[in-house]
Structure 1
Amino acid sequence: MKVEQRVQVKITGAPRPYSYAWWFDPLAGEGPLMVGDRVELPPNQVQEDGSSGEVVAVGTSYKGELKSIVRKIEDAYERDDYRAQEADIWAGFGQGDYA
């Protein structure tokens, strides 16, 4: 059972994020993408060999047909910069003028 997830991907050097589809099968142990995941993108008119990017949003307002992401390169939670950001999410909680 394949499920379509629509995400927005930031491609290095691109002026804005682009929308792509991610197809996964939860029964086969596959999962959805999350913000921060790095993905391989299919070829297009400008990049004949394809490219890569980072998921910057889950969901899109675009309703048309989408190209599909080739594969997930790296989970966000596997990256050191993401783990450091996640570990610091509650830093300073309960402190300050309004605590």
Structure 2
Amino acid sequence: MQIHVIGSKSQHTNDYLVYYFPSEKLLFEDDLVWIARQGPSRKASARQVGLYQAIRDLKLPVETIVQSWPVQDYGVKTVIPFRELEQSVTGK
């Protein structure tokens, strides 16, 4: 496991950690990606863009993002394929 400080790149707080598991190509974070489970995709929030850019800057080959928040059902994914984050940011 690798722990990375992405700080203000998170667009959420100045102190923000993400956890990368290289063997699984999995990134664990708390509350930066809000992609609906159903319906049309929306433009990325500043937090999503910040996480995407941090992953790119760190050159992490992420395939899956696991998010711990929200703890209640808000209709958003908590297991997110990286390509969906990328699509929300780049439109591709």
Which TM-score band (shorter chain)?
0.3 to 0.5
The structure with the greater share of residues assigned to helix is: 2
The structure with the greater share of residues assigned to strand is: 1
The structure with the larger Rg is 1
Report the TM-score when normalising by structure 2.
0.34
